């Protein structure tokens, strides 16, 4: 009994497999006959028009998978797309009912006529698609070809507002050998039969670019001299500037702040020059980094390059002005004479306008005397100077020295009430030495006062440059980057 059941099952399986093989063989045979019928007298070199005067309508569309990159240095945009091409070939039509209701065929692209529509503004000489996939041929003669492609198209870069810029890159598709009298280009149709006048983005397969954001993606048909037609796809993209803000703009701003603090160092400090030159070298490095990124063009200067150049000019002036300040600080009465207008402007007038007040030594001693009163010693005040305005002859008594000679004599001038002292030679030399020392001390005090004036002038000039650089740097930074904020992507791609 078991053996009989097993034999029946095997027989049933053999019958089912035979039916399936006959069905597939029949379907393959029908498709083979259809292929044979369609390509029996087919010539792929002949344009599929019933008459020579008729034009072939070719619908062109594009599906964007990825905006790979935009190379500003070479002006090249790389995109990963799927081309959507559709036309009608009346020679490839059939009645589905005669061929087991077959409505679509997949045919290698090199067996059918194809419009030679290529990317005109390619940048690498590769005009063709990346892969020749099969074309879809429908029973009414409609042919659809959806090949993938990686295009490298030329794009004119506008660098004036880099890195706060937006670019308008285009891809122009046109037939190389057929003019407008033979091939008519139109927009691709969607599932509802409406024209798609923009680039389609495949939401399931689209990969977002980290540097560029797509703002508009329109397409437009252009007719030139009533002879050539093309379909141009536009990508209006806006740069995401965060990378450049963090890596270039913020360091440049911090470097310019360091240039400002050069004038906050003491005027006599030699580190002023060291700091200024270090900042200048750092800005030169930033300039070299930007030179590798920005296109080599003379049509415009990027705003970030303008800012770096602006900062470099300020730092260069800071080096020059630091030399001037050091020169003023180390001037002495033996090398320079201070003009009266310099004393008037930089000592008496300018300091009060830049928030400076010079301390006076006399006022400082007065304040110290108020805070620290003089103490008496045994009821007597400390000794000071005693000046005899008139000499009393009775007080000057003859005094004999060791050798019995009078050392001091009082003599009256003839015809006058004035008296003079006649001193011995050794006392004269001592008084001469004391007088010389007093004159030298007085001259030293005068020189120290003038040297202090030069140092105070250097301090005033340093503070003046500090405020000037703060104002100029702030206004320059705000003016440049506020101007960049006005460069926004237009709402209408075709104003």
CA–CA distance, 275 with 272 (Å, rounded to integer): 5
Element (H, E) at 37: helix 2-38
- What are the tens digits of pLDDT across the range 204-236? 888 889 899 999 999 999 988 778 899 999 999
CA-CA distance, 452 to 461, in Å (whole number)? 14
Cα 39 to Cα 302: distance, rounded to the nearest angstrom: 59
Please state the pTM of the whole predicted model: 0.71
Please state, in angstroms and rounded to a whole number, the distance separating the CA atoms of residues 119 and 322: 59
Read out DSSP for 214-283? EEE-BEEEEEETTTEEEEEEEEEEEE-THHHIIIIIHHHHHHHHHHHHGGGS-TT-THHHHHHHHHHHHH
Residue 332: per-residue pLDDT = 84
- What SS3 state is found at 88? strand
Residues 6 or more apart whose CB falls under 8 angstroms from that of 119 comprise 127, 151, 153, 171, 172, 173
- Running DSSP on this structure, what letter comes out for residue 382? P
Determine contact, residues 92/137, Cβ cutoff 8 Å: yes
Q: Which DSSP category does 212 fall into?
A: E
pLDDT for 295 equals 75
Q: How far apart are the first and last CA of the chain?
A: 88
Ramachandran angles phi, psi of 216, nearest 5°: -135, 150
What does the alpha-carbon distance between residue 61 and residue 84 come to, in Å, rounded to a whole number? 5
Q: Characterize 270-280 residue by residue with b for buried, 16 or more Cβ atoms within 10 angstroms of its Cβ, and e for exposed.
A: eebbebbebbb
Consecutive H or E run containing 168: strand 166-175
Return the SS3 of 314: helix
CB 273 within 8 Å of CB 254: no
Angle at Cα 264 formed by Cα 259 and Cα 265, nearest 5°?
A: 100
- 466: Cα within 13 Å, side-chain hemisphere: 18
Count of C-beta atoms within a 10 Å radius of residue 100: 13
User: Cα–Cα distance between 205 and 192 in angstroms, integer?
Assistant: 22
What phi and psi, each to the nearest 5 degrees, are found at residue 101? 60, 35
Q: How high is the pLDDT of residue 131?
A: 87
DSSP assignment letter at 99: G
Question: Which DSSP symbol is given to 381?
Answer: P
Please name every residue paired with 167 in a beta bridge, in sequence order, or none if there are none.
Answer: 237
Closest CA to 249 of 159, 317, 310: 310
Distance in angstroms (rounded) separating the CA atoms of residues 64 and 202: 6
Q: How many CA atoms lie within 13 A of 314 on its CB side?
A: 31
Choose among 210, 212, 188, 214: nearest CA to 201.
Answer: 214
Neighbours of 201 (CB within 10 A): 16
CA distance 454 to 330: 8
CA angle 245, 247, 249 (to 5 degrees): 45
Length of the chain: 495
Measured between alpha carbons, how far is 458 from 346 in angstroms, rounded to an integer? 9
Gyration radius of the chain's alpha carbons: 49
The predicted structure's pLDDT at residue 150: 92
Q: How far apart are CA 79 and CA 344, in angstroms?
A: 70
Q: Among candidates 115, 145, 142, 118, which has minimal Cα distance to 132?
A: 145
Can you list the residues of the chain whose pLDDT is less than 70?
A: 1-27, 360-424, 427-428, 495
Task: Return the half-sphere exposure (C-beta side, CA atoms, 13 A cut-off) of residue 54.
Answer: 11
CA distance 197 to 61: 8
Which helix (H) or strand (E) segment holds residue 169: the answer is strand 166-175
174-184 per-position pLDDT tens digit: 988 888 889 99
Beta bridge partners of 188: 196
Beta-sheet pairing, 195-196 with 140-145: unpaired
């Amino acid at each position: 009994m078991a053996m009989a059941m097993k034999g029946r099952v095997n027989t049933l399986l053999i019958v089912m497999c035979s039916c399936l093989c006959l069905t597939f063989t029949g379907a393959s045979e029908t498709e083979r006959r259809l292929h044979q019928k369609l390509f029996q007298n087919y010539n792929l070199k002949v344009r599929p028009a019933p008459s020579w005067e008729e034009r072939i309508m070719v619908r062109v569309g594009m599906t964007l998978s990825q905006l790979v990159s935009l190379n500003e240095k070479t002006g090249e945009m790389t995109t990963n797309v799927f081309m959507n091409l559709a036309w009608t070939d009346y020679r490839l039509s059939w009645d589905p009912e005669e061929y087991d209701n077959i409505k679509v065929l997949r045919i290698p692209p090199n067996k059918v006529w194809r419009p030679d529509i290529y990317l005109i503004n390619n940048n690498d000489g590769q005009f063709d698609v990346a892969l020749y996939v099969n074309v879809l041929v429908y029973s009414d003669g409609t042919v659809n070809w959806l090949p993938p492609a990686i295009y490298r198209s030329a794009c004119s870069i506008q660098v004036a507002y880099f890195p706060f810029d937006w670019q308008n890159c285009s891809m122009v598709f046109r037939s190389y050998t057929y003019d407008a009298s033979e091939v008519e280009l139109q927009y691709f149709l969607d599932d509802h039969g409406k024209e798609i006048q923009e680039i389609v983005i495949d939401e399931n397969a689209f990969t977002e670019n980290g540097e560029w954001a797509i703002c508009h993606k329109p397409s437009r048909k252009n007719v030139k001299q009533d002879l050539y037609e093309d379909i141009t796809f536009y990508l209006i993209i806006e740069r995401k500037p965060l990378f450049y803000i963090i890596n270039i703009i913020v360091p440049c701003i911090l470097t310019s702040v360091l240039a400002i603090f050069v004038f906050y160092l003491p005027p006599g400090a030699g580190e002023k020059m060291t700091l200024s030159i270090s900042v200048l070298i750092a800005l030169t490095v930033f300039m070299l980094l930007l030179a590798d990124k920005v296109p080599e063009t003379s049509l415009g200067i990027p705003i970030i390059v303008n800012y770096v150049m602006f900062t470099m000019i300020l730092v260069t002036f800071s080096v020059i002005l630091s030399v001037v300040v050091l020169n003023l600080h180390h001037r002495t009465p033996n090398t320079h004479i201070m003009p009266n207008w310099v004393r008037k402007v930089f000592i008496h007038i300018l300091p009060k306008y830049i928030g400076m007040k010079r301390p006076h030594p006399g006022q400082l001693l007065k304040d110290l005397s108020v805070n620290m009163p003089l103490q008496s010693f045994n009821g007597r005040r400390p000794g000071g100077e005693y000046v005899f305005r008139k000499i009393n002859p009775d007080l000057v008594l003859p005094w004999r020295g060791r050798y019995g000679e009078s050392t001091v004599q009082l003599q009256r001038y003839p015809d006058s009430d004035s008296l003079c002292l006649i001193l011995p030679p050794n006392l004269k030399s001592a008084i001469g030495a004391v007088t010389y020392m007093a004159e030298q001390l007085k001259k030293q005090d005068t020189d120290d006062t003038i040297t202090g004036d030069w140092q105070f002038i250097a301090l005033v000039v340093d503070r003046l440059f500090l405020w000037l650089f703060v104002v100029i740097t702030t206004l320059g930074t705000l003016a440049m980057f506020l101007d960049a904020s006005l460069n926004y992507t237009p709402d209408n791609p075709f104003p």
